[in-house]
Structure 1
Amino acid sequence: MTAHLPTRSRLVHESLRTAGIAGDIVVLPDAASTAVLAAAALDIEVGAIANSLVFWCDDEPLLVMTSGAHRVDTAALADRLGRGRIQRASVEQVREATGQAIGGVAPTGHPAPLTTIVDEDLATYDEIWAAGGTPHTVFPLTFDELVRLTGGTVAKVD
């Protein structure tokens, strides 16, 4: 069943099944490397896209799962979390931390668990969609499943 998936997406699929999440990875015909593109491809609201944004904070990666409807206010988030400056991770840092490329970073399937913040605004959707390890793959899950899958801390991020 997963043989048709790219290697990175197979790792994500295995992580989903291990976590008891039933959503299947969908391969899109065109890359959906932004929330707007993913929402258009799935014909859903952009806010129901769970963007996986990798930042660098206190000398480690920080994964922020944010609603596609808004941007992360890094200064406010750092203040809320009591952490140092939060800045965008470099392409190399993203690849090293996740094993995945920017535009396709999944909330799981990484070489090691990442400290994760989950945008509280995603809870307003019955179903959300996240990247499946590549810019061409996505999968559905619920807010509660996302929090459980990532071990994330729910917070306001904008």
Structure 2
Amino acid sequence: MNTTTLPDTAQRVADLLVTLGHDKPVVMLPETGKTSAEAAAGLGCSVAEIAKSIVFRRLSDDAAVMVVASGANRVDEHKVAAIVGPLGRADAKFVKTRIGYAIGGVCPVGHVDKTVMLIDADLMQLPSVWAAAGHPHAVFNLTPAQLQAMTGAPVVDVALRSQSEAA
């Protein structure tokens, strides 16, 4: 286990991962992992291997909607809205209140409120991914199958594709 004292939110994630039977530790990056590129640089992996959490606000019931996407992808809001209903922006206060983590360290598990979850199908092609662990410097490694099992989220195509890719 990591001998470094973890920030409170990262420790909460580490404890939750143990409860879930996950065998990989929370890792603290020396530099921030707020963006996929920063996290990938700190971990020495590809940007695609960063499982970034993007949060929206569903307009019909004000529910939090989280898309866990490959760091290499932009999320197509129209695809997400076609699955869950019309979406609005989720500001930092909404994310912190409904999810329980600050933007830059939003973990795919351990949310304060029930969250509508979707997983980017492109993540499923990778042997492992890195997800935020509740703090801008904290991450943990897992397989896409473990991510799906932990969240129970459906795996869907949410990536914004160029016209040439869509053809």
SS of equivalent residue, structure 1 residue 118: strand
Decide whether the 8 Å contact of 2:66 with 2:118 is kept in 1: yes
Per-residue deviation, 1:149? 0.9
List aligned pairs for 1:18-37, cutoff 5 A.
18-37=19-38
Give the TM-score normalised by structure 1.
0.93
Q: What secondary structure, in the 3-state scheme, does the structure 1 residue paired with 2:25 have?
A: coil
Decide whether the 8 Å contact of 2:51 with 2:68 is kept in 1.
yes
Alignment partner of 1:41: what SS?
helix
C-alpha distance in 1, partners of 2:113/2:94? 13
Once residues 112 and 94 of structure 2 are traced to their aligned partners in structure 1, the CA distance between those partners, rounded to angstroms, is 13
Higher Cα Rg: structure 1 or 2? 2
Q: How far apart, CA to CA, are the structure 1 residues paired with 2:23 and 2:90? A: 30
Question: Which ranges of structure 1 fall in alignment gaps of 5 or more residues?
Answer: none
Map residues 1-158 of structure 1 onto 2, 5 A cutoff: 4-57=5-58, 58=60, 59-79=62-82, 81=83, 83-158=84-159
Count residues in correspondence: 156
Q: Deviations over 1:34-80 (max 9, x none)?
A: 0010001111110010001111113200111000001111112211x
Identity %: 39
Question: Residues 74 and 87 of structure 1 are in contact (CA less than 8 Å); yes or no, is this contact kept in structure 2?
Answer: no
Cα distance change of structure 1 residues 67 and 74 upon mapping to structure 2, 3 Å threshold: same
- 1:56 is paired with a residue whose SS is strand
TM-score by length of 2: 0.88
Root mean square deviation, CA, Å: 1.4
Contact 1:119 1:157 in 2 (8 A): yes
Q: Tell me, in whole angstroms, the C-alpha distance in 2 between the residues paired with 1:23 and 1:112.
A: 25
